Structures are given as C-alpha cells and as structure tokens.
Amino acid sequence: MRLRLLGLLTLALILAGSLGSARAKVEIRVDLTRQQMTVTKNNDKPLVWKISSGRPGFETPTGKFIVQRLDADHLSDEYDQAPMPFAIFFSRGLAIHGTSERGLGRPASHGCVRLSIEHARELFGWVEQYGASIEIDGVAAPTRAAVYTEAPRARAGRVAVERRVAPQPAPNDGFSFFRAW
C-alpha cells in the first residue's frame, strides 16, 4: 500500500511539474507601422527586433494567430525554393522566418514576417519549447525606394515583381538641343 501511495505521489509531482512548463509561453507582437517585433518569453523582459513585413500588394495580415506548424529548414514552393529558415507558420502559408536579405525595418516580403536569422533561430527554439501566441497590428507604410507593379509570370498562379524607375531628365550640357534632332 505504501509503495502504491508513493507511486501516486511521484506521478502527481511529475504531472504538476509538466503543467507548470505547459503554462510557459512566448508572446509575439508584430507592429507593422514600426516594422518591429516584440517578443516576451515567460514574462521575462521583452525583446524588440527589426522585421520586414509584406510590401504593397503582398500585405501581411493583421489579427491574432496561433502557430500552425514549425519548419527549421523550409524552402518556399511558391517562390522558387527561396529559403525560409526557422519558419513559424501562422496563416495561409505565411510565416515568421529568418532572412539573410539586408534592409530589415521596411516592408519587403510577399506577406511573411522576416527577421534576422539569429533572432529567428532563437525565437524558433522558444516557440518549439513553450508554444506561442502571435498578434499582428498596425499598417505598413508603402516603400519609397521603388514603385512595384504586378506582371504575369511564366508559370500559372504566380506573380513577378517588376521595378520601375522614373525617367531622368537629360543633362543640360549645351548639346541636348542637337540630340533631340
């Protein structure tokens, strides 16, 4: 009888310990207006990281999301096997993932939330261990560097992005009148 009671007590302690760690959680808040992510792990001090969200025509959705799946070595089927390291999928194939692209802090993606590979690796490990809630709000400002337009791609269902550059005026070197002839 004593062994059985000791066994039940041990089991209760193990279950209580696992329930405590199940409550641990990572809160991910994405601010599209500021192009930054605030991450709070288990009520620790929040960390703030630069991100890049969806550019015009590929806006990142806002709202509250749950983690749908994790993939540490994901390659995009939609965008020519583009690497999406440490992908945390949250909506319609969109993910928070690492990037080696420069220019974090401005909208640049096809709707995903990009962050540095180092931060993505760290976040991925926490989400894998504790689970996460994801909240995205704000409005991304349009990019000023270029105007993007959609053009059909060779494969059906895909969209290519073309960068248009505004025409530059001819230099006034005294000969521009003769070049027009």
Number of H helices, E strands in the chain: 3, 11
Active-site residue among 74, 110, 112, 119? Answer: 112
33-45 burial: b if 16+ Cβ within 10 Å, else e:
eebbbebebeeee
113-137 burial: b if 16+ Cβ within 10 Å, else e:
bbbbeebbebbbebbeeeebebebe
One-letter amino acid for residue 31 of the chain: D
d(CA 34, CA 51): 9
Is 110 a residue of the active site?
A: no
Active-site residue among 74, 97, 110, 119? Answer: 97
Is 112 a residue of the active site?
A: yes
> Which amino acids are annotated catalytic?
97, 112
